[in-house]
Amino acid sequence: MRRLRNVKIVATLGPASSDYAMIRKLYEAGADVFRLNMSHGTHDDIRARHSIIRQIEAETGMPIAILADLQGPKLRVGTFASGAADLEEGQHFRFDLDPTPGEGHRVQLPHPEIFAALEPGASLLVNDGKIRMKVETCGADFADCIVTVGGTISNRKGVNVPDVVLPLAALSTKDRADLEFACELGVDWLALSFVQRPEDVLEARALAKGRAAILSKIEKPAAVKAYDAILAVSDGIMVARGDLGVELPVHAVPPIQKRLIRGARAAAKPVIVATQMLESMIESPMPTRAEVSDVATAIYEGADAVMLSAESAAGQYPIEAVTTMNNVAISVESDPTYRDVIEASRKAKRQTVADGIVAAAREIAETTDIKAICCFSQTGTTVSLVARERPRVPIIALTPLVRTARRLCLTWGTTCTLTEEQERFKGAVISAVRAARKFGFATETDQIVVTAGVPFNTTGTTNILRVAPCDERLIHRADPE
């Protein structure tokens, strides 16, 4: 199934999208990657949805990527004697380790790690930032605060601590069990929550043991500050704007989003823009104009993918949400301004032979009548380098490894297909021609660009480029046995 756009769509599965019929409709509407949220549902639920996706993959003959999103540690207050308390601006409030049910002036915060990291002047945010406090004094087992934004605080509401790096691992005990389960199940990507430092990513990578690619969610101010180091050890990035918008001023998020996207693109690593993209479509069949503009902005900025969360997982209109994203992407990418913006932001560092090959492939494709760039790849690295160039023609990724084909479903502009291992470049060219014609990118009178590495089936050897006719007879004449 050929997509008519370059940006990819990630759809989260949940109660509203858990059976075969709905997941199949989401795929047909445009979902390229399915997200399994490990925060919700049992392992049996996750296993069932994974099985359905793989069934659809087998029926369509097209690889589909599966992203397992780990929950991360959850920081929550304790309970209240009356279930809740009303806090007013200017009043004093204490957090401590005492498990006694809270009242209007205090509540338990069962996380000594938070107290260990707090300093006077630090902020504490409760219930997604609806309640805000400033720490006045603190110790190893308490924090006395003044309320700066009041509201109702109730049992087990979440707590954010934006101003400090917390001495907490990104992987909780639950996350470790979920990670092993997801890897054994055979997911393609692992999204890592609560990332604060590159060491968090390295820990997850060690546990995954190459069974899944690691995608770091940038959702904390500490991760923004350490972004370059985190990006260097990650396979991909998610701009998780929900928590970013809680822990940072909301007006700071758009420029951060732009910077994160550009950094990931320069590193040739896929980047997803996530959270509240079509939030109103949880309950409405039509999005707001502001939401459509938000999705369009992410596409103009060059994101590899845009993501639906509750819209497709728990909303009333999951198919309409995917269809809307698909239509917005097609409209944006047909706008001449889109190419101007994308090409103006092309600042790749070219230091290797592969960098030069893919840059030449794009130049040739854009200055002559080339219909597609076809890349043979074992690991997907060359395909990612081509995608970094954001060429004007489609990218066809050919690989003998299903794992590589699935992971590349998250990469901008890429149509993935499995092929037999090749021993000679002529065979690779013929396979590329057949793929270009199969997907409708070219006819027998057209030409394509083919990149590969010789010797074949060896990683990191991209060293050859050829402009090839899409008539196999011409290939045989040019390259007799």
Least confident of 184-188, 297-301, 453-457: 453-457
* Distance between CA atoms of residues 161 and 180, nearest Å: 29
List domains and CATH numbers for the chain: 8-72+169-335 (3.20.20.60), 84-160 (2.40.33.10), 353-478 (3.40.1380.20)
pLDDT digits (tens, 9 = 90+) for 425-461: 888 899 999 999 999 999 999 999 999 887 776 776 7
Distances (CA, A) of 239 to 108, 192, 220, 297, 381: 32, 12, 10, 13, 22
For 331-403, list the strands marked E by DSSP: 370-376, 395-399
* Distance between CA atoms of residues 66 and 48, nearest Å: 13
Q: Which pLDDT value is given to residue 425?
A: 84
Q: Which of 143, 10, 17, 109 is nearest to 66 (CA)?
A: 10
Least confident of 27-31, 202-206, 245-249: 245-249
Q: Which residues are catalytic?
A: 35, 76, 217, 275
H or E, element range at 430: helix 425-438
Beta bridge mates, 159: 126
* Distance between CA atoms of residues 189 and 50, nearest Å: 13
pLDDT digits (tens, 9 = 90+) for 110-127: 999 999 999 999 999 999
Given a cut of 60, is residue 19 above it in pLDDT? yes
Given a cut of 60, is residue 197 above it in pLDDT? yes
Q: What is the DSSP string of 196-253?
A: -SHHHHHHHHHHHTTSSEEEEEE-SHHHHHTHHHHHHT-SEEEEEHHHHHHHS-GGGH
**Does residue 442 contact residue 470 with C-beta atoms inside 8 Å?**
yes
**Confidence class of residue 266 from pLDDT cuts 50, 70 and 90?**
very high
Question: What is the arithmetic mean of pLDDT over 346-372?
Answer: 88
Question: What is the arithmetic mean of pLDDT over 180-199?
Answer: 97
- Report the chain's mean pLDDT, rounded to a whole number: 94
Any idea of the CA torsion for 246, 156, 274, 245, to the nearest 10 degrees?
0
**Does residue 126 contact residue 113 with C-beta atoms inside 8 Å?**
no
* Distance between CA atoms of residues 158 and 180, nearest Å: 26
Q: Which pLDDT value is given to residue 152?
A: 96
Q: Which pLDDT value is given to residue 264?
A: 97
Instruction: Pinpoint the alpha helices (H) of 63-111.
Output: none
Q: Which of 172, 93, 101 is nearest to 134 (CA)?
A: 93
**Does residue 437 contact residue 470 with C-beta atoms inside 8 Å?**
yes
**Confidence class of residue 476 from pLDDT cuts 50, 70 and 90?**
confident
**Does residue 120 contact residue 138 with C-beta atoms inside 8 Å?**
yes
Given a cut of 70, is residue 480 above it in pLDDT? no
* Distance between CA atoms of residues 91 and 115, nearest Å: 20
* Distance between CA atoms of residues 256 and 469, nearest Å: 44
pLDDT digits (tens, 9 = 90+) for 208-250: 999 999 999 999 999 999 999 999 999 999 999 988 999 999 9
Question: What is the arithmetic mean of pLDDT over 48-66?
Answer: 97
Higher pLDDT, 361 or 347: 361
pLDDT digits (tens, 9 = 90+) for 325-356: 999 999 999 999 999 999 998 876 667 888 99
Q: Which pLDDT value is given to residue 141?
A: 96
Q: Which pLDDT value is given to residue 94?
A: 98
Q: Which pLDDT value is given to residue 455?
A: 75
Higher pLDDT, 87 or 164: 87
In terms of phi and psi (left: phi > 0; alpha: psi -120 to 50; beta: otherwise), the region of 180 is: alpha
**Does residue 18 contact residue 26 with C-beta atoms inside 8 Å?**
no
pTM beyond 0.85:
yes
Residue matched to tokens 């394509």: 448
Peptide bond into 394 cis (omega under 30): no
Structure tokens of 81? 């004697």
Given a cut of 90, is residue 481 above it in pLDDT? no
**Does residue 196 contact residue 167 with C-beta atoms inside 8 Å?**
no
Q: For 146, how many CA atoms within 13 A lie in the half-sphere containing its CB?
A: 6
